[in-house]
Structures are given as structure tokens and as C-alpha cells.
Structure 1
Amino acid sequence: MDGERGRWRQCLLGGAVFAVCMAGTTLPTPLYGLYQEKFGFSELQVTVVYAVYAFGVMGVLLLAGNASDVVGRRPVLLTGLGLAALSAGCFLCATGLGWLYAGRMLSGLSAGLFTGAATAYVIELAPKNGSSRATFVATAANMGGLGCGPLLAGVLSQYAPWPLYLPFVVHLALVACSAAVLLRLPETVRERQSLAAVRPQRPALPASVRRVFVPAAAASFVGFALFGVFTSVSPAFLVESLGVHNRAVSGLVVALAFFASTAGQLAAGRIGVARSLPLGCAALLAGLLLLAGALYWDTLALVVLSALVGGGGQGLTFRGALSAVAGASPAGQRAAVISMLFVVAYAGISVPVIGVGVLTGPLGLEGAGLVFLACMTALVSTAAVYLLRHPVREE
């Protein structure tokens, strides 16, 4: 019993390290308005600063997604924490837009290293009969950490001194504590090789998987795009259209979307893949419509409901998509197909968000948001209709 308790303690500590790293990736969210005031850049530049993060994540997933399988979990995670610390350092030293680009890129590289390695590590630290619970710990750490970032920064920047510095100082302290914890946790990869053995992963899409992959990827793209808009431009919308200048409130609204995603992923495990994908698409559609209503009528309550409903839909669709795609993939190509799904998902965080930034100039923030929502609604509706006509079979 003591051995099992010890393994669960290690699993939870690994999850805490995972959460700290992911919190750093969303920490700047409620601070973009302050950076705009300080450096005088446009809404388009805000969205590009945000999207640089996704390009960093995709680069690592493609070039070094299997690194922790080769050199071990702890070296990769310690590298990820080092990159997170460098990212915080860039924001602390920021004297212009270039520092923000560098900080976001380093943050993306850190998250790219953590996404696969920390998920596997948390599961491997748990007792052998606890893989299901450990998977939820990893999921909760990932999404919960993403949600805690804007909440922490929003509260500190609103109610404590040095709003552009204190959140990153606190995160650096948490990163240092996480590194100390990680050094005390065991390595779970038994047969390790040198870094030279790491090879780039090429995304693959076998013909047998396309029937499942295309609608699952479309739903994942929309879910991540919704997150992208919430974390990049929603604080500006709250200020400009709703007169909400409290950064703690802005951070909370963004955090709710990530917390709801955690609940959606937990629900997906209970209702099954076949139902979670179409139900998730329906929830995403409802979340998009609620956000459209919030933009049209300038209503804070609808923004909050959109975060909750859309976040839950994202959790349902993404866990359902991962399960469906993994189950339909040939064993020898499963990792490559899953990498392809992650690349599509992170493209959803970056490409549409930049599009919103481009359209903000001629159409205004609300008009650009409505165009984005119309495009995403068409995409997720098409995916939902396809999934209803061609249900994904349980594996």
C-alpha cells in the first residue's frame, strides 16, 4: 500500500510540474493591453505575438516530438523548464515587441517539449493499474495549468504592484521549485540513447485513417481556434466593448474556458468516442453562437457562457478526436498520425487568430470576430453533419 501511495504521490507531483510549465504559456494573456499601452503596437501585432507560440509548439512536435522516448523524460522536461524560465526572462526584460516575440517562441518550444513527454511521464509514474486516473491527472494538469496562467497574472497585475513584472517573477519561482521536484522524481525510460538518436517525426495520414481523421481534425481545429481567440483578443474586447478594465476578470473568463475543457475531457471518457465527437461539435457550435451574441449585444454574461460551453465542447471533441484517430491508425504509424492531429490543432490556435488581427483594421474587433465565428461555425457544422452520418465506431 505504501508503494502504491508513493507512486500516486509521484504522479501528482509530476502533474504539478506539468501544470506550472503550461501556466507560463498563458501568463501574458491579461497583460497584452498593458503591453500595447507601453509599446504602442496594434491588435494585429497582439495576435501575431500570440500565434508565435503555436509555431514553436508545432516545430518541436515535428522535429523532436519523440525526444523523451530516446534520451529520457527528465532531461527533456528539465530542458522545457529551462526554456520556460528564459521565456519569463524575456518578458521581464522586454523593452519592445521583439522581446515579446522571443518570449512567446521560447514558451512554445517549452510547451512542445512538455506536451508529449509530461503526459507520458505522469502516466508512467502512476501504479500500473491506475493508467486511466493518471491520464486524467495529465489532462487536468495540462488544461488546468493553461487556465491558471491568465488567472494568476490577472489577479497579480490588478491587485499587486509591478503588473508587468510580478507575474513572471512568481512564475520563475514556481519553475525553480518544479525543477527541484523533478530532480527528486525517478526516470521512467529504462533504455536511453544519446541526443543524436532523436529523429524528426513526419506527420502521416494513411488512406485508412482519413475517413475518421478529417472530421475529427476539423472539430479539433475549431476548438483550438476558439481558445486562440479567447486568449489573444478577448481581453481587448472586454475593455473596448464591455468596459471591463479589471484584469482579474479578464483572466478569469479565459481560465473558465480551460477549466471547462478539463471537465469536457473527463466527460468524454465516460460517454465514449462515438457520442463525444458529435456532442462536442454541438457544444462548440453553441459556444460560437453565444460568443457571436456577446459580440453583437456587448453582453458579459454571454462571454462567460461561451467560455464554459465552448470550452466543454473543445474538451469533448479533442479527447474524442485523439481516441478515434489513435484507434483507427495502424500500430506502426500511430504516433505519426497523432502528431498530424496536434499540428492541425495548433494551426487552429495560430492561423485564424492572425486572420482576426488582419481584419480588425478594416472591420473593427467586433466585425473581425463575427467573420471568424461565421467561418468556424460553417466548419464545425460540416464536421458535425458528417459525424452524424458516419458515426465513429468504438474501438
Structure 2
Amino acid sequence: MLSGTVFAVCMAGTTLPTPLYPLYQDKFGFSELTVTVVYALYAFGVIGVLLLVGNASDAVGRRPVLLCGLGLAAASAVCFLCATGLGWLYAGRLLSGLSAGLFTGAATAYVMELAPDGGASRATLVATAANMGGLGCGPLLSGVLAQYAGWPLYLPFVTHLVLVAGSAAVLLRLAETVRERRPLRAVRPQRPALPPQVRAVFAPAAIASFAGFALFGVFTSVSPEFLAESLHVDDHAVSGLVVALAFFASTGGQLAVGGVGVRRSLPLGCAGLLAGLALLAGALRWDLMSLVVLSALVGGAGQGLAFRAALSEVAGASPEHRRAAVLSTLFVVAYAGISVPVIGVGLLTDRIGLEGAGLVFIACMAVLVSTAAVYLARRPAEARV
């Protein structure tokens, strides 16, 4: 579906700089902490949009919001192209987060609304693949271009600008699906909400979502540096592929929920996250590339299982008139996982090194995931969806 392609192009732009961070470190001379702060700004942008204008496309229409998101994606690429200092990288990541925040809800709804009659299941598959698959394509594209083509800090973003322009042309030819549009002033900030009947389901879902996104955040922000420093892997294509594998595995995990069932997917996802964390600890301790790859695959699949199951359980337990606000709360918790732990790892890296910081992070996330798993095991059957 063309709308899914537009979705994927936008999401690819948010992960495009991932394998390029070591090059920016060499160019501008900043620390690993700065890398994690640059990365975390993306999450702050997403959270801000979700809270302030997350329901904008319901009022003004899908296409205007998605066009705005593509405009922000283009502005982000321009910031990276013009980067002569750290401020440009900060601006580029923040704009990328704003773009993703606009796309996350609006593009998912748009893909499903454009589906033909009886195509709801396929549309869900397309939206899932476009979201996580697009995130995986970003580092893979930039890594290959940086390694095998010239201008490694420029060509990936020029390529993305071309793709964004093509996506805008496609979007202008697609039909608007919101029939009763309202003015922009009708958009109101969405307050996080947690009705009493949702809390028993929300707690383990939020913990698993936080840990899963934290694993992705740390993996994508520091793995290129770890591959270069500890494993002496300077191939940007390999670095991009390793990060992409985590997102592709997450896509597979989300798609597997349909066969596994929501009720079993959340505890299985927690088990996958624990296994992925253990493999990542082994990779850090013994400097083994094979364990890095396995960590990406197993942890990514666990994140996909856990997060889609978390969304399904929380949505099912929420009152219909408050469902959007409750899901926004879950997304805020999830994206907090990309920002807070990532910055913490950056702070620790400057003091105890990348290996030590990574092991501390893994221990903390393992405690969180284990807590969610124990809660799920002891939860009464009637509280399960």
C-alpha cells in the first residue's frame, strides 16, 4: 500500500544517523554522553507531540498532519546536511522526533482507513511492517551508503530528502479519510489517563514497554561505538545491519502475536527481553560479535511480542471514551524508555567505561522485566485479557 510506503520513509529518517555517530564523534570531538543525549532528544520530541497534538489528525485530517510530518523530516535531514557543530545535530534529532510523533498515530490510522473492505488484518500487517521495518531500513541504508559510496555524512540525507519529496507527491494523490474536519484550534493537549480498571493490566504492560524501548534505545545509540571500539568493526554497513536486525526482529515479534495469542505474548516477550539482555551482557563481557547479533534478534523479537501484546491488553481494558488517552500514556512511558536510560548509560560510560555502563543498564532492565514477569505469573486469570 502506498500509504505504508510513506510511513516507512518517514520512520527510516528517524534512525538514519545511527551508524554515523562515530563519524560525528571524530568530526566534532564529543563524548559518548553527548551521543546518547543527541539520540534521546528524538524521544523528547515524540513525547511532546503525543501529549500536545497527538489527536490533531482526528480534527484537521490525516493528510495535512502527515504532510507536516514529512516537512519536519525534510527539515531534520537539512540540519544534518548543514551540521557544522553539535547544535545542528540536536536540532536534527528533535525535528526527527516531532516528525515521528505526528506520524505514529496518524499514519497507522490512515493505513487502516485506506484499506479495502475486509482488508483490516492486512492493513494492520502493513502498518506494523512500515513502522518497525522503516526504522530498520534507516541504519541499513545509511550504513551501506556511508561504507560503499562517497560523502558518508551527506549522501544518506540527500537520499532521504529525495524519498521524502517522492512520498509527499504520493500523499497528495491519496484520498483524505477524515470526513468531518474541524479547525486546528479544536485540537487540545491530551492528558495522560489511567482509569482504575486499567491499572492492573497497565503496570506489567508499561514495565515491559519501558524496558523494551530502553533496550532499543541503548542498542541503537551505543552499539556502533561498541562495535568500533571493542570489536574493531569499522564497516558502517555492518554496524547499520546489526541495528537494523533488532528492528526487523521486532517486526517479526509483533506479527507473531496473531499466532501466539495476546495472553501468552506478553510473558513470552518478557522472556525474550531477558534473553536478549543476557546475550548483550555476554557480548559486552567477552567482546563477541555473534552474541551482539543474537542479542539484536532475540531482544528485538521479545520487544515486538511484548509491545504489541501490551498495546492490545491496555486497549482492551480501557473504556472506549478514554482509550486514546490511556494508549498515549503507554506510549509516553515507552518513549521515556528511549531517553532516560540512554542518558544514564552515557553518564556512566564517561566514568566506568562502555562495558561497565552497559552491564549496569542490563542489570537494572533485567530487574524491571523480571518484576513484570513475576506479576504476570501471579496475576489472577480474571485480570488477564
Q: Please, what TM-score do these two structures have when normalized by structure 2? A: 0.99
Partner of 2:179: 190
Label 1:126 to 1:260 Cα distance change in 2 as closer, same or farther (>3 A).
same
In 1, the alpha carbon distance for the partners of 2:5 and 2:12 equals 10
SS at match of 2:128: helix
In 1, the alpha carbon distance for the partners of 2:166 and 2:380 equals 46
Partner of 2:39: 50
SS at match of 1:233: helix
SS at match of 1:164: coil
What residue identity is the alignment partner of 1:88? A
Partner of 2:242: 253
Deviations 1:236-293 (A, max 9, x none): 0000011110010000000000000000000012211110000000000000000000
Which of 47, 65, 68 is the matching residue for 1:79?
Answer: 68
**Structure 1 position 285 matched with structure 2 position 257:** no
Partner of 1:300: 289
> How far is the alpha carbon of 1:394 from its aligned partner?
6.1
**Structure 1 position 134 matched with structure 2 position 123:** yes
In 2, the alpha carbon distance for the partners of 1:128 and 1:265 equals 23
In 1, the alpha carbon distance for the partners of 2:81 and 2:297 equals 32
CA contact 1:274–1:391 (8 Å) conserved in 2 = no
In 1, the alpha carbon distance for the partners of 2:296 and 2:260 equals 22
SS at match of 1:212: helix
Partner of 1:352: 341
Partner of 1:162: 151
What residue identity is the alignment partner of 1:202? R
**Structure 1 position 118 matched with structure 2 position 118:** no
Which consecutive unaligned segments of at least 5 residues does structure 1 have?
A: 1-11
CA contact 1:273–1:394 (8 Å) conserved in 2 = no
Partner of 1:237: 226
In 2, the alpha carbon distance for the partners of 1:302 and 1:391 equals 36
> How far is the alpha carbon of 1:332 from its aligned partner?
1.3
Which of 63, 80, 87 is the matching residue for 1:91?
Answer: 80
In 2, the alpha carbon distance for the partners of 1:133 and 1:282 equals 28
Residue-pair matches, total: 384
**Structure 1 position 172 matched with structure 2 position 172:** no
What residue identity is the alignment partner of 1:210? R
In 2, the alpha carbon distance for the partners of 1:68 and 1:79 equals 11
Aligned alpha-carbon RMSD (Å): 0.8
> How far is the alpha carbon of 1:361 from its aligned partner?
1.1
What residue identity is the alignment partner of 2:273? L
In 1, the alpha carbon distance for the partners of 2:8 and 2:219 equals 20
In 1, the alpha carbon distance for the partners of 2:219 and 2:159 equals 24
Deviations 1:303-329 (A, max 9, x none): 000000000000000000000000011
Partner of 1:6: none
**Structure 1 position 335 matched with structure 2 position 324:** yes
What residue identity is the alignment partner of 2:51? L
> How far is the alpha carbon of 1:158 from its aligned partner?
0.6
**Structure 1 position 325 matched with structure 2 position 305:** no
Partner of 1:199: 188
Runs of 4+ in structure 1 off by over 6 angstroms are none
In 2, the alpha carbon distance for the partners of 1:124 and 1:89 equals 32
In 2, the alpha carbon distance for the partners of 1:202 and 1:47 equals 28
> How far is the alpha carbon of 1:128 from its aligned partner?
2.6
Label 1:260 to 1:152 Cα distance change in 2 as closer, same or farther (>3 A).
same
Deviations 1:293-350 (A, max 9, x none): 0000000000000000000000000000000000011111111100000000000001
In 1, the alpha carbon distance for the partners of 2:384 and 2:207 equals 19
Which of 335, 358, 381 is the matching residue for 2:370?
Answer: 381
Identity %: 81
**Structure 1 position 24 matched with structure 2 position 13:** yes
Which consecutive unaligned segments of at least 5 residues does structure 2 have?
A: none
In 2, the alpha carbon distance for the partners of 1:386 and 1:367 equals 29
In 1, the alpha carbon distance for the partners of 2:360 and 2:217 equals 15
What residue identity is the alignment partner of 1:181? V
Partner of 1:367: 356
Deviations 1:16-52 (A, max 9, x none): 0000000000000000000000001110000000000
> How far is the alpha carbon of 1:391 from its aligned partner?
6.0
Which of 10, 20, 26 is the matching residue for 1:37?
Answer: 26
In 2, the alpha carbon distance for the partners of 1:39 and 1:294 equals 28
SS at match of 1:362: helix
What residue identity is the alignment partner of 1:24? G
Q: Please, what TM-score do these two structures have when normalized by structure 1? A: 0.96
What residue identity is the alignment partner of 1:326? A
**Structure 1 position 67 matched with structure 2 position 56:** yes
In 2, the alpha carbon distance for the partners of 1:53 and 1:144 equals 18
